[in-house]
Amino acid sequence: MLNQRMIQLGTNRSAIRELFEFGKHYEHDHGEGSVLDFSLGNPSAPLPEVAEKVMRELIGVKGVHDYTSAPGDIAARKLLAASLDRRFGGEFTFNHLYMTMGASAALTIAFCALTSEEDEIVLLAPYFPEYMVFAQRAGAKVVVVSADEEFNPDFEQLERAINPHTALVVVNSPNNPSGKVYSRATLERLADILTAKSQEIGHPVYLVSDEPYREITYGAEVAWIPSIYPDTVVCYSWSKSLSLPGERIGYVAVNPACRHADDIIAAVAGAGRSLGYVCASSLFQRVVASLPDTTCDVNVYKTNRDLLYTALNGMGYHCISPDGAFYLMVKSPLGDGQDFSDRAKELGLLIVPGESFGVKDWVRIAYCVPKERIERAIPLFEKLAPAHE
């Protein structure tokens, strides 16, 4: 009767959420600022003013709060498809876009659409831990491929991992948790492997490109993956680019050049329906369609990254300067990431152990926080620094 797997998922929160909830309760008991929380990717750059303006204008407009078609309002999707084509030179039409309630919904839908029971999903470490949960919902098996010390995929391991059961590989660049942005050369090598392997096993291995951080970069090129590997399905969210993660608005975009594109489009719609998604927020569909090229002020994150990376590097920590997103990975000076996270927590510093990202010797610091919080954290990181061990 009661589903034990669901009880377990509801009881054992993700490591990220566990720390975040701990921090909220601790602050509630000990006062604001009593804990320095770097756990959650809650954007700190303000919502762009133009987005506020657009929202205000749309509220109450006739029809704006009605049901849209299940894949989304056609006019909104036309604007968004045109924006993709303008920026990336694709051939997207509204029909290739399915509006979703954020990237998590998009990924769950894509996994359910692109896999059948017992198929395999390949994740490239480090990866967003909830991929595991979404894959389980699809009934698919997860295979993890390790990264090298620069957070590039171990390509030989990838080649060995792909077999006739492989349905898709997930790419997330800019990456959560590492901030890594794959170079064009890396993506081309990935595409070459997937092309050869698809031919070898007799069916396409799709790339699911999870791109909520596409616009959160500090100069590095974020190559448009569908132009490098045609069998790509893009999952996008405006949570980070417009700083409205609570509003849950994103899409699944099926590359027109995908093999079986029409079937994928149908399967995406079917998966959305069967997961209880009726349509994405009708208001926010229009908000994002009105602002297809707007991004929050990324300099807020760049300032934080520079401050934090320089400080930690100077203290002798091993970390890699992130080119995008708003996370920094630090190798645990204690060997195990969990030990480091525990020690930090004793000092009131909340950083997420790397194990659930598939890199257990690391911790993730989400630096999408007020700058002052980083300044207050630096002396605490100093206390924990390798030199002091």
| Near a second copy in 93-152, by CB under 8 A | 101-102, 104-109, 112-116, 119, 130, 133-134, 136-137
Q: Are strands 97-100 and 141-145 parallel, antiparallel or unpaired?
A: unpaired
**Integer Cα distance of 237 and 105 in angstroms:** 10
Q: Tell me which H or E stretch contains 20.
A: helix 15-30
Q: What angle do CA 107, 122, 271 make, to 5 degrees?
A: 30
> What's at 109, amino acid-wise?
I
**Could you say which residues in the range 61-90 bind a second copy, by CB under 8 A?**
64-70
74 vs 185, beta carbon nearer a second copy: 74
Of 176-184, 242-250, 310-318, 326-334, the window that binds a second copy (rule: CB under 8 A) is 242-250
- Out of 156, 200, 221, 263, name the contact with a second copy by CB under 8 A: 263
Query: Residue 79, SS3?
Result: helix
Report the nearest approach of a second copy to the CB of residue 318 (Å).
30
- Contact between 10 and a second copy per CB under 8 A: yes
- Please check whether residue 194 is in contact with residue 209, taking contact to mean a CB–CB distance below 8 angstroms: no
312 vs 366, beta carbon nearer a second copy: 366
**Could you say which residues in the range 22-61 bind a second copy, by CB under 8 A?**
24, 40, 42-43, 47, 52, 55-56, 59-60
- Please check whether residue 385 is in contact with residue 340, taking contact to mean a CB–CB distance below 8 angstroms: no
Report the nearest approach of a second copy to the CB of residue 66 (Å).
5
Report the nearest approach of a second copy to the CB of residue 341 (Å).
21
**Could you say which residues in the range 331-360 bind a second copy, by CB under 8 A?**
none
- The tokens describing 289, both together, are 């369609």
**Could you say which residues in the range 182-221 bind a second copy, by CB under 8 A?**
203-204
- Interface with a second copy: number of residues (CB under 8 A): 81
CB-side neighbour CA atoms (13 Å) of 301: 32
Q: Residue 14 CB: number of other CB atoms within 10 A?
A: 16
Site track 281-310 with a second copy (rule: CB under 8 A), x = hit: xxxx--------------------------
- Contact between 230 and a second copy per CB under 8 A: no
Report the nearest approach of a second copy to the CB of residue 241 (Å).
13
Report the nearest approach of a second copy to the CB of residue 40 (Å).
7
**Integer Cα distance of 250 and 239 in angstroms:** 8
**Could you say which residues in the range 368-387 bind a second copy, by CB under 8 A?**
none
- Out of 29, 150, 276, 293, name the contact with a second copy by CB under 8 A: 276
19 vs 312, beta carbon nearer a second copy: 19
Of 7-15, 178-186, 226-234, 314-322, the window that binds a second copy (rule: CB under 8 A) is 7-15
Beta bridge partners of 97: 253
**Integer Cα distance of 202 and 45 in angstroms:** 46
**Integer Cα distance of 288 and 37 in angstroms:** 29
Q: Tell me which H or E stretch contains 339.
A: helix 337-346
- Out of 1, 29, 31, 150, name the contact with a second copy by CB under 8 A: 1
**Integer Cα distance of 54 and 290 in angstroms:** 7
**Integer Cα distance of 214 and 240 in angstroms:** 9
